[in-house]
Structure 1
Amino acid sequence: MRNLSVKQIYTHSPLRNYTYLVYSERSGEAICIDPYSAEQIVNFLKKNSLSLKRILNTHEHKDHVAGNLELKEATKAQIFAHPKTVGLVPGLDEVLKEGDVAFEAEGESLKALETPGHTFCHLCYVMGDATGSKEIFTGDTLFHGGVGNCYRGGDPKTLFQTLNSKILSLPDHIKINPGHDYIENNLKFSLTLEPENDLLKEMQEWVSHHHNEASPFEATLGKEKKINPFFRLREIFNDCPDFFQSMGTEIPKTEENLFIYLRSVRDKW
């Protein structure tokens, strides 16, 4: 039985942001991850008799901190983020480093995971209990079917290293909670690379008919390994070598170089 509940809030923002609330139904304590619309969040808190204790930001970009100050004023919650976001995150009260407990209740906790790449100030939050990790809030590090861009203060080589050393070391059953709803476009892009991938086609069919605010697409890390092109670099290279021809013959076709090239192609797609 779940001790903590997770509420995904689709914000209807131009960038299709998600905000998350994690809360205990028993105690009424809650935390918010990446507030966009304070009004949306406060309405949910009031409707469910919840008290917001903390605001956690994954990184400093405006669409992930837009609701910070208004929400802080309305709830008196403290704001936490990466140490390098000092002066960048509105209303920041305290910083979190690798392994710090961001929230703990009902035998479950959220711990900070440093995940540089999209920016160098990025944290993911891993939720779990004594038996292991259950969910991860990935901000703009990992999306359903894609990964974050790196042209607003990040670095694709660093993101590749983060994904391989931090994200892919997590269990396959962990649920991915991304910072944006990009699944439709990401699947379209993936199918340009792997048009015969039956699982991708199946996922696209489901998304086109069923994915909405009330019934959102969900995926574990294990599923992402099967549909996310940034986790399938070697398979795509083996099946579609022509796609990588414009890299040139002088660049070694390491997974890191394939990742950097694929990220650059996705940026222009």
Structure 2
Amino acid sequence: MTYSGAVKVGGGADVHELTALMISKVAVGPMNNNAYLLRCRATGEQLLIDAANETGTLLQLIGDDSIASVVTTHRHGDHWQSLEAVVAATGARTYAGRYDAEGIPVPTDVPVEDGDTIEVGQVSLTARRLIGHTPGSIVLVYDDPHGHPHVFTGDCLFPGGVGNTFEDPRAFTSLLDGVEAKLFAELPDESWVYPGHGHDTTLGSERPHLGEWRARGW
């Protein structure tokens, strides 16, 4: 089956099989959040991105092999409703951006700075801090040596625009500047984008519209 990233609440996961990494995407309610399970194919170690909600759904996705770690992309509550329960069930290490950790009620074991590396088995993810949706949102970049990059953007980048900056012009400019400098300027068009809600996209699909986003202010 070809991966599309089109998942729905109550439905099954969609699995993106890469050479060294398997990425399983599932949607949970009530805000159509995406959670991503990353599995190193060499070691079997697993990492969860955003324990958003529906603990049972997430634990079923994780399966009997459990997870070594869970990354919370940012402090907004819809992205960590099941974090406490998932950590209690798995004993996973918790990661979050250093400047958002104080807004997450589950203790962060590893505060993450811009440029830090997070490992899942033999696979390395690079964290990039983006300021605007929240003060300490992080995106995770897997620069696949066997293909193109894969980018987990939380609520910082979606098909059609950057994340909500709550009608704050300075926050919008900061977020768009960061997305342009740390994602679009550094990564190729083929880079696959996995957002915190809704459908996937690629940087190439969104790149032609950066000027439109800046002009409209959201």
TM-score clears 0.5: yes
**Per-residue deviation, 1:28:** 2.3
Aligned to 2:140, what secondary structure does the other structure show?
Answer: strand
Partner SS for 1:150: coil
> How far does the alpha carbon of each residue in 1:218-245 deviate from its partner, in whole angstroms, 9 at most, with x for none?
421101224xx4x242xxxxxxxxxxxx
With 29-38 and 69-78 compared, the bigger mean Cα shift is at 29-38
Aligned to 2:112: 96
Amino acid at match of 1:117: G
3-state SS of 1:55 partner: strand
Within the candidate set 67, 73, 82, 1:58 is matched to: 73
Match of 2:202 in 1: 220
SS in 1 for 2:25: strand
Q: Of residues 170, 175, 178 in structure 1, which corresponds to 2:192?
A: 175
CA distance in 1, matches of 2:140, 2:161: 18
**What secondary structure, in the 3-state scheme, does the structure 1 residue paired with 2:88 have?**
helix
Residue among 118, 123, 133 paired with 2:133:
118
- Given residue 9 of structure 1, which amino acid in structure 2 is its aligned partner? V
* TM-score where L is the length of structure 1: 0.67
Match among 172, 177, 182 for residue 161 of structure 1? 177
Q: Deviations over 1:53-108 (max 9, x none)?
A: 111011000011111100000000011111112321123111111121112434x3
The residue number in structure 2 matching 1:85 is: 100
Does the aligned pair in 1 maintain the 2:141–2:151 contact within 8 Å?
yes
Q: Which residue type is aligned with residue 62 of structure 2?
A: L
Are residues 62 and 152 of structure 1, via their aligned partners in 2, closer, same or farther at CA, if it must alter by over 3 Å? farther
| Residues 134-165 of structure 1 deviation map (CA, whole Å, 9 limit, x = unaligned) | 20000010012222111299811211211221
* Alignment partner of 1:2 out of 19, 26, 30: 19
In the alignment, what sits opposite 1:73? 88
Return closer, same or farther for 1:31/1:127 CA change in 2, 3 Å cut-off: same
Equivalent position amino acid for 1:27 in 2 = T
Name the % identity. Answer: 27
**Structure that is richer in strand per residue:** 2
User: 1:132, 1:104 → 2: CA distance?
Assistant: 18
Which of the residues 160, 165, 172 maps onto 1:145? 160
In angstroms, what is the RMSD of aligned CA positions?
2.2
Amino acid at match of 1:140: D
Tell me, in whole angstroms, the C-alpha distance in 2 between the residues paired with 1:145 and 1:174: 16
Q: Pick one of 43, 52, 57 that aligns with 1:27.
A: 43
1:158 match: secondary structure: helix
Amino acid at match of 1:73: A
Q: Tell me: higher relative CO, structure 1 or 2? Use CA pairs within 8 A at least 6 residues apart.
A: 2
Q: CA deviation at 1:130?
A: 4.2
* Cα distance change, pair 151–119 in 1 and its aligned pair in 2 (3 A): same
Q: 1: distance between equivalents of 2:116 and 2:22?
A: 21
Greater mean alpha carbon deviation, residues 217-226 or residues 60-69? 217-226
Letter in 2 for 1:50: D
Over 3 Å counting, the alpha-carbon distance change for 1:74 and 1:160 in structure 2 is same
Q: Secondary structure at the match of 1:84?
A: coil
Give the paired residue count: 197
Distance (Å, rounded) in 2 between the aligned partners of 1:73 and 1:35: 12
